[in-house]
Amino acid sequence: MSLALQTFSTVKDASAALQAAGSRYLGGGTLVVRAANEGDVSVSSLVRVADPGLSRIAVSGGKVRLGASATMAAIARHPELAALAPAARAVGGPAIRNMATVGGNLFAPAPYGDFAVALLALDATVFTEDGEMPIETFLTGRDTSRVIVTAVGFSLPSMESFRFLKVSRVKPKGVSVLSIAALLQRTADGTVTSARIALGCMADRPIRALATEKALLGSKLTPQEIAPALAAAGEGITPITDPIASAWYRAEVLPVHLGRLLSQ
Ligand SMILES: Cc1cc2nc3c(=O)[nH]c(=O)nc-3n(C[C@H](O)[C@H](O)[C@H](O)COP(=O)(O)OP(=O)(O)OC[C@H]3O[C@@H](n4cnc5c(N)ncnc54)[C@H](O)[C@@H]3O)c2cc1C
């Protein structure tokens, strides 16, 4: 079956073309082109936008805006995004990171979507041609989404407040057994005043660890004080099973790795 590629100079025109049956947006193509090559007949046409503005990374006044076509490699080497570099570097190997985009990562099903886990912990806003929405709303509705994501925005976290961990069995570029991102605000004596924790592979898309977040408030991240948060880590999760790990295994090791991340 032939695969058409349509290139547009504006998001608006590409968006109109994307409404046709069988059309899919083309980011870096690491997932959608592979799917087409592997015989996914639901894809008959790829639509892309040749606007360099979609690859722009802007950091100003403590705010970050990543164009949807910004690649993981570009984020990982950006001098002002050191706090995010571990999450960007967690995506595949160098060849994949040179192609893999922010926009595509938002749509990537588990065990992929490591960068989207970081964006969820950062409470990112997802921008589309039509407007903007919180990342949680976007992730919930992404399966039926026909809009083109143009950018994501969030407040730049400090190195101290943002933590990211990916667990894989093949080093350095295996897919996730799980990934965890945590944005923690603490007082001078180390007491947690706010916690936002996102998990990858604990559902078909990134989810928040709401019970853990709540249990962490007021704690000091000592082994004793994080114990209730770790005990609550299993609440609301439905881990995936794939050739890398079973749902049972993922659920068993989640508190172990969460404990390591929080004790860092
Ligand atoms: C060998 C290999 C290893 C990988 N390892 C990892 C890994 O470790 N971690 C990880 O997270 N991922 C991994 N991936 C998956 C993938 O590379 C990344 O998730 C990547 O970020 C997807 O982005 P993309 O631009 O390539 O997406 P594409 O393949 O271009 O698109 C993926 C989906 O998103 C849609 N889409 C893309 N951009 C937009 C947009 N701007 N607006 C609307 N829809 C859009 C496409 O239509 C498609 O449905 C791996 C893939 C491969 C092949």
- How far does the centroid of ligand 1 lie from the alpha carbon of residue 183, in Å? 24
pLDDT at 1: 66
Task: Give domain limits for the chain.
Answer: 4-49, 52-155, 162-263
What residue's CA is closest to ligand 1, atom 15? 112
Task: Give the model confidence (pLDDT) of 89-133 as tens digits.
Answer: 999 999 999 999 999 999 999 999 999 999 999 999 999 988 999
Which mutation among 37, 42, 89, 101 tests ligand 1's pocket best, with the greatest number of atoms within 8 A of CB? Answer: 101
Q: What is the mean pLDDT of the chain?
A: 96
What is the distance between the alpha carbons of residues 67 and 55, in angstroms, rounded to a whole number? 5
pLDDT, tens digit, for every residue of 52-71? 999 999 999 999 999 999 99
Q: Whats the size of the chain, residue-wise?
A: 264
Give the pLDDT score at 81. 98
CATH fold of 162-263, please? Enolase-like; domain 1 (3.30.390)
Atom of ligand 1 nearest to the CA of 26: 30
Ligand 1 binding pocket (C-beta < 6 A) is 24-32, 34, 68, 91-92, 96, 99-101, 103-105, 107-108, 112-115, 148-149, 175
Q: Is this prediction's pTM over 0.95? A: yes
Residues 194-233 pLDDT 10s: 999 999 999 999 999 999 999 999 999 999 999 999 999 9
| pLDDT score recorded for residue 47 | 97
52-155 is a CATH 3.30.465.10 domain: yes
pLDDT > 70: percent of the chain: 100
Strands 45-49 and 4-8: parallel
Distances from the Cα of 50 to the Cαs of 14, 25, 26, 128, 242, in angstroms? 10, 12, 11, 16, 36
For 171-195, how does the pLDDT look when each residue is reduced to its tens digit (9 = 90+)?
A: 888 999 999 999 999 999 999 999 9
The answer to whether 45 and 23 are in contact (CB under 8 A) is yes
Return the best residue to mutate from 96, 127, 142, 145 for the ligand 1 pocket (most ligand atoms within 8 A of CB).
Answer: 96
| Interatomic CA distance for residues 103 and 68, integer angstroms | 4
What is the 28 CA–ligand 1 centroid distance (Å)?
7
